[in-house]
């Protein structure tokens, strides 16, 4: 019968059989799937696993610390954190177009991650032969199945390695649906903040700033987002809403009156949605008092924000994210 205990036991045995006494690398994104996959592999092979976390500076408040501290505390995994914040800011400088932002973030992410893989290979030697991925059953069905290998090229990075390095994939969540992954993660002792995390896009806050991405804008958005999340959690609404993007309209300014004078600041958009699978969505009818608390706190506590607006568009026609 299906129990999380059985799934863990089976997968631990399968991972041990596959990896043997070799070593594996797992990239952590801050999301549920990579965290649970890494925790499973960690349980199976312990210190033969090295986890990598690329800090691109586009995460929400506290999320990087969650990986660095809470994930490590819960699993005991070796973690290599790459601070790439400045590199991403430099690459994104002057860019406002959403698709261009996505491409840049995706490209830089792969480059930084591959560089980290190569460094681990140099430090740990050729026994590093496996790459862990948090692929779920629906991902496999959508992409037509099959498992395989991942290649990275080493030539432009570091010396002393073959030009083409091939990793065999370890995909311990291949048979699981999202809710099952959460149950397995919980059983493995991962904190709720990781296991119950709502969807969050890979490009992170980079696509929640309408306009150019800068450090100041990211910091501002992080504060506003943290307030919204705090109030939604306090109101017990986390399960009810699918996700609530908080968006900074950095290229829009509006007049306000705050304290003793007029201000000319930026609006923050709240985009709470309910959904089954993110393909379609409806805007969440949040209680007015919760919206009021979020609005009051954001305008009081976040400098340069003098207006909070609610997105009341379903998907379609609006996408969930603004970019
Ligand atoms: P949209 O905006 O297309 O979003 O309605 C649908 C769902 O996908 C998430 N999303 C992304 N996730 N990389 C991701 O990993 C991305 O580039 C990306 N863009 C959107 C979004 O948060 C929502 O859950």
| Centroid of ligand 1 to alpha carbon of 240 (angstroms) | 19
Closest ligand 1 atom to the C-alpha of 321?
2
Is there a domain that residue 317 lies in?
no
Last residue of a domain, one of 194, 226, 244: 194
Q: Verify that 138 and 216 share a domain, yes or no.
A: no
Structure tokens at 161: 């390695």
Q: Verify that 136 and 242 share a domain, yes or no.
A: no
| Centroid of ligand 1 to alpha carbon of 58 (angstroms) | 15
**What is the number of helices (H) and of strands (E) in the chain?**
11, 13
Asked if residue 36 belongs to a known ligand binding site, the reply is no
Is there a domain that residue 203 lies in?
no
Q: Verify that 163 and 256 share a domain, yes or no.
A: no
Is there a domain that residue 255 lies in?
yes
**pLDDT value of residue 159:** 58
Q: Verify that 228 and 154 share a domain, yes or no.
A: no
Sort strands 261-270 and 246-249 into parallel, antiparallel or unpaired: antiparallel
Q: Verify that 34 and 136 share a domain, yes or no.
A: yes
Domain that holds residue 132: 4-194
**pLDDT value of residue 1:** 83
| Centroid of ligand 1 to alpha carbon of 288 (angstroms) | 27
Q: Verify that 168 and 23 share a domain, yes or no.
A: yes
Over the stretch 222-265, which tens digit does the pLDDT of each residue have?
A: 999 999 999 999 999 999 999 999 999 999 999 999 888 999 99
**Cβ–Cβ under 8 Å, residues 184 and 36:** yes
Residues framing ligand 1 (Cβ under 6 A): 102, 199, 201-203, 243, 278, 315, 319-321
Is there a domain that residue 140 lies in?
yes
Structure tokens at 248: 């900074």
**Which of 32, 99, 133, 199 for a ligand 1 pocket mutation test, highest count of atoms within 8 Å of Cβ?**
199
| Centroid of ligand 1 to alpha carbon of 203 (angstroms) | 9
Q: Verify that 248 and 185 share a domain, yes or no.
A: no
Q: Verify that 20 and 145 share a domain, yes or no.
A: yes
Give the pTM: 0.94
Q: Return the CATH number at 233.
A: 3.30.300.10
ipTM for the whole predicted complex goes beyond 0.95: yes
Is there a domain that residue 319 lies in?
no
Q: Whose CA is nearest to atom 4 of ligand 1?
A: 320
Neighbours of 142 (CB within 10 A): 9
Is there a domain that residue 249 lies in?
yes
**Cβ–Cβ under 8 Å, residues 120 and 50:** yes
Q: Verify that 242 and 119 share a domain, yes or no.
A: no
Over the stretch 220-234, which tens digit does the pLDDT of each residue have?
A: 999 999 999 999 999
CA-nearest of 57, 126, 52, 64 to 87 is 57
Q: Verify that 165 and 30 share a domain, yes or no.
A: yes
**Which of 321, 322, 323 for a ligand 1 pocket mutation test, highest count of atoms within 8 Å of Cβ?**
321
**pLDDT value of residue 145:** 77
Over the stretch 99-138, which tens digit does the pLDDT of each residue have?
A: 999 999 999 999 999 999 999 999 999 999 999 999 999 9
In total, how many domains does the chain have? 2
Is there a domain that residue 113 lies in?
yes
């Amino acid at each position: 019968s299906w129990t999380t205990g059985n799934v863990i036991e089976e997968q631990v045995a399968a991972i041990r059989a596959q990896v043997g006494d070799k070593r594996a690398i797992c990239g952590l994104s801050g999301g549920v799937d990579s965290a649970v996959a890494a925790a499973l592999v960690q349980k199976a092979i312990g210190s033969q696993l090295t986890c990598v976390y690329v800090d691109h500076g586009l995460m929400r408040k506290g999320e990087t610390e969650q990986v660095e501290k809470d994930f490590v505390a819960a699993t005991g995994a070796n973690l290599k954190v790459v601070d790439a914040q400045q590199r991403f800011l430099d690459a994104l400088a002057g860019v406002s177009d959403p698709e261009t932002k996505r491409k840049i973030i995706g490209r830089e992410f792969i480059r930084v991650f591959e560089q980290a893989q190569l460094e681990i290979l140099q430090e740990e030697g050729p026994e590093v032969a496996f790459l862990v991925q948090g692929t779920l059953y629906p991902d496999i069905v959508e992409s037509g199945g099959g498992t395989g290998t991942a290649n990275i090229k080493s030539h432009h990075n570091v010396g002393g390695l073959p030009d083409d390095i091939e990793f065999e994939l370890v995909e311990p969540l291949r048979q699981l649906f999202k809710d099952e992954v959460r149950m397995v993660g919980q059983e493995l002792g991962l904190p709720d903040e990781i296991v119950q995390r709502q969807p969050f896009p890979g490009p992170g806050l980079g696509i929640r700033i309408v306009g150019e991405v800068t450090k100041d804008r990211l910091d501002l958005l992080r504060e506003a987002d943290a307030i919204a999340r705090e109030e939604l959690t306090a109101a017990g609404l986390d399960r009810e809403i699918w996700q609530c993007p908080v968006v900074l309209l950095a290229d829009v300014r509006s007049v306000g009156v705050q304290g003793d004078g007029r201000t000319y600041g930026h609006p923050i958009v709240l985009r709470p949605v309910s959904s089954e699978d993110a393909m379609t969505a409806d805007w969440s009818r949040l209680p007015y008092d919760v919206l009021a608390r979020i609005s009051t706190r954001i305008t009081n506590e976040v400098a340069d924000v003098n207006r909070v607006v609610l997105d009341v568009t379903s998907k379609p026609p609006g996408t969930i994210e603004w970019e």
